[in-house]
Structure 1
Amino acid sequence: MAFFSTIKKLWGGDTAAATPAEAQAQPGLQPDLQAGQPAGQEVDEQAPTQPEAAATNEAQAPELSQAWRDALATSLSAGRAKISQWLGILLTDIDSAGPELWARLRFLFATLSVPEAEAEAFVNEFEAWAWAMRLQKPEDIRSELRYRLILALDLEQEQEERTNIFKKFAQGLAQTKARFATGLGALFGRSGGLDDAFWEELEEIFIMADMGSEATQKLIGNLKKRASSMAVTEAARFREVLSAELEAIFPLPKKPKVAAAPEVVMMVGVNGVGKTTTIAKLAYRARLQGRKVLIAAGDTFRAAAIGQLEIWAARVGAGIFSKAEGSDPAAVAFEAVDMAQREGFDLVLLDTAGRLHTQVNLMEELRKIKRVLEKKHPGAPHRIVLVIDATTGQNALSQTKLFHEAVGVDEIVLTKLDGTAKGGVMVSVAITHRLPISFVGLGEKMEDLRPFVGEDFAKALLGQSR
């Protein structure tokens, strides 16, 4: 899936073949122009209105110098995708999101043989977003444009972007790493073998990192087996054993089998974990990858929850389905999928009430929603995603257990990793329940929800370079 249906990738030596996308770009809804504040802030009812014209037409576009055109074309034809270099050229002497930037983006897409209508959709949506979110600082414009281009051009797996994500991940794990560092540093630096005293000290370090007793015991057992298989008997070499085990314990998310659109993703979790903003970030990400997204406001217990999703849907260019407060959540799910089928949406993100995992009647309601979805759209929900908050430590582990028992969780999204020293709960969840972590939250911005990679976690936690 990609934002553009065809693109000529000039980098990497491929100058001829156009890459087909699985679906054409879907022009999104215009952002709610009263929802102009960044994530985490209240909506400003007095926010300025958007200019009448969403884009600058060619007659008004600034003239681009031949030297600038040549510089960009040369960079695009390099052996690898040089994302930072492209951005440097695109944003040279740019201090605001305006006509000069739009003209440069149009030239970029024309050079890559992107269909004109799709290029215009990208530019217009970026312009609307920049206005609604009040992107004024050059660094904010750069950050937002980078994320959009990475996803639209399918560059997330390129080496430069992988390194960029790893740096963000390492920053997000800084507090957790600090909790590990002192104990592990002393442990790895000691002389001698892997005796009982070594294992007891390692166990204490894991428990102090909020891994929990059960997960710690399983991890210690795994590490003993791995050390034996790797023929490591000295403490000085144990870092490589621990790194290899941490990389191995995180299962990869399974690709859902979707026989017919839409794919339905059911989002579950307790109050306060960041489920609403996670839905918005997932919708935003999917939109930038060219998907037509419908958000279903299934938390009908709170009018505020419905209102928040309506605002976020408008901001990110997604569709929204909602009913009145107090409506049957299962009916919301049923009718949302019906709407998605009629109107050609290919992804439905279904919110559910942020219930307490101890409330049996509410957990039963989740089962009801799941049954209704299965009857309405065979195979749905294709994924059940549990959102947990890294700052809650072992509470997140108990939530995972009960939600998994109730409805069968497929994936975990871990939020607020950048604000806690309790990142060890990731290991607990993975080793106890064998559930994949698909995304981690590394900050408040839309681009701060990033795919989780076990190898990156291990290296960042142990202070290794990628």
Structure 2
Amino acid sequence: MGFFSSIKNLWSSNKEQTPNPEQQPPNLEQTQNDTQSDADDTAWKEQLTVDLRAAEPKLSAWLFHVLEDVDTVTPYFWERLRFFLASLEVPEAEAEKFIDSFQKWLNEMDYEQVDEFRSELQYRLALALDLEDEEDERNRLIVKLSNGLEKTREQLSKHLDTLIKGHKSFDQSFWDEFEEILIMADVGYEVASNLIERLKARIQKQGLTNPEDFKAVLAEELNIIFEPKKRISAVNLPEVVLMIGVNGVGKTTTIAKLAHRAQMQGRKVLIAAGDTFRAAAIEQLELWAKRVGAGFFAKKAGSDPAAVAFEALDKAINEGYDLLFIDTAGRLQTKVNLMEELQKIYRVLEKKHPGAPHRSILVVDATTGQNALSQTKLFKEACGIDEIILTKLDGTAKGGVAVAIVMQHDIPITFIGLGEKMDDLRPFDGLEFANALLGITTKNN
């Protein structure tokens, strides 16, 4: 379920205001002004109701009418947003909570023009109203994904097009050239060989002979590779998520984005600063927690990370949090003591709350290519990894490392980072990723 309980028929009536008997009667001029103001207020509400009812029943269409002729943040903007939420029969307390959170974010970002935050507003509403899977939101994701993978696609797709045009059959030279393309895309030799064998078997099974069909076949195979295995999602609350990864991969902002998503979906989130050794790490995480409206727990710099994890979990249990994110240190993964610290955190959490941590998420930087692959290997061996978040895909030509990570380590990628904004962390979809990677355009049915 999303942040709000349900989406029902558009609300078409306004509550009558009950006059205060103790209030002094206004003078005639004031009464006339109030009457005119009430008339203007009623007029735009009636018009917006008509527009919303006539619009295609999807968030983007509704939001178009809500923001029509509204260019800046004014009381009128907030009134229209409140009226829209009321029209969806969102409980008043939940609507005000959403608006209060968004107001704080706008103040923090110093945004005043609607064009500066329109996409963020739609993203938050999609999460809050449980509309992230609707067609328009998915289209926005596909566009963002395609733009983010542009550098990787330019390198990979161009070489693939040359390969396809230069061959009339799937002969040995075709596969040799394709292997070189994969290695240049940072897939790696071992993974490239494995992928080629799978593709050969698929092509033979389907009886294909024309290389013109190759991109579609490759996309299908990648989708199967990326498909995550079924797992038990039920947890004993609070859910505990351990965030791991080396410094510089974007772990702090990723935690903030995950917390932001969870908050918009109605969960009570606590963030714990377990990276107690890096300068300013605690302050940075506290700032992000404040920005997204999540709870925060920290001890003084240099404290035992396991103690931070233990006390943060105690706070989460006692204060009724649904979800606890624990940041961890990110010094070079070759330092054995870092891995020992992580193992200690695991033991402490399990002792305090059976089943914790429920998820361990490794954050890796796509721009580091094969180095991201080695980080995955070392963290997996030291403490285990349940999921991977691949960041900075918007600035790299090494997006092919996603294929290598999943094939070599059999760990699902759950989110990808396509920029710095809150809505730039998007759920990972294997087929959409493959199509964007290969430049394949899909049409909606």
TM-score, normalisation: structure 1: 0.86
- Cα-to-partner distance string for 1:305-355 (whole Å, 9 max, x where unaligned): 011111111111000010011111111111111100100100000000012
Q: What corresponds to 2:79 in structure 1?
A: 103
Q: CA deviation at 1:208?
A: 0.6
Higher deviation after alignment, 120-129 or 161-170: 120-129
Aligned equivalent of 1:180: 156
- Cα distance 1:124–1:237, how it changes in 2: closer, same or farther (>3 A)? same
Provide structure 2 residue ranges, at least 5 long, that are not aligned to the other structure.
13-36
* Structure holding more helix per residue: 2
CA RMSD of aligned residues (A): 2.0
- 1:265 corresponds to: 241
**Residue 441 (structure 1) aligns with:** 417
Please tell me whether residue 388 in structure 1 is matched to residue 364 in structure 2.
Answer: yes
Task: Indicate the residue corresponding to 1:328 in structure 2.
Answer: 304
Identify the match of residue 273 of structure 2 among 297, 321, 327: 297
Q: Which residue pairs with 1:317 in the alignment?
A: 293
1:84 Cα deviation from its structure 2 partner: 2.3
Give the Cα separation in 1 of the matches to 2:158 and 2:2.
44
Is the Cα–Cα contact under 8 Å of residues 10 and 78 in structure 1 kept in the other structure? no
**Alignment partner, residue 319 of structure 2:** 343
Which amino acid in structure 2 is aligned with residue 75 of structure 1? Answer: L
Amino acid at match of 1:337: L
Query: In the aligned structure 2, how far is the partner of 1:444 from the partner of 1:63?
Result: 40
1:33-432 alignment, distance < 5 Å = 64-66=41-43, 69-76=46-53, 80-81=57-58, 83-252=59-228, 256-432=232-408
* Alpha carbons 2:71, 2:115 under 8 Å: kept: no
Aligned identity (percent) is 57
Going from structure 1 to structure 2, the CA distance change for 1:253 and 1:383 (only over 3 Å counts) comes to: farther
Q: Deviations over 1:210-238 (max 9, x none)?
A: 11111111111111111112211221221
- C-alpha deviation, 1:256, in angstroms: 4.9
Shift of 1:260: 2.2
Give the 3-state SS of the residue equivalent to 1:249 in structure 2: helix
After superposition, what is the alpha-carbon deviation per residue over 1:405-446, rounded to whole angstroms, capped at 9, x for unaligned?
A: 111101010110000000000010011111111111111111
Matches of 1:62 and 1:383 in 2, distance apart? 55
Distance 1:4 1:92 in 2: 24
Deviates more, 1:133-142 or 1:332-341: 133-142
Query: So what's the TM-score if we normalise by structure 2?
Result: 0.90
Q: Distance in 2 between matches of 1:464 and 1:69?
A: 44
In the TM superposition, residue 77 of structure 1 has moved relative to its aligned partner by: 6.4
The letter for the 1-side match of 2:180 is E
Q: Following the alignment from structure 1 to structure 2, what is the Cα–Cα distance between the partners of residues 62 and 166?
A: 44
Deviations 1:342-400 (A, max 9, x none): 00100000000012111111101101101111111111101000000010000000000
Taking the aligned partners of 1:77 and 1:117, their CA distance within structure 2 comes to: 27
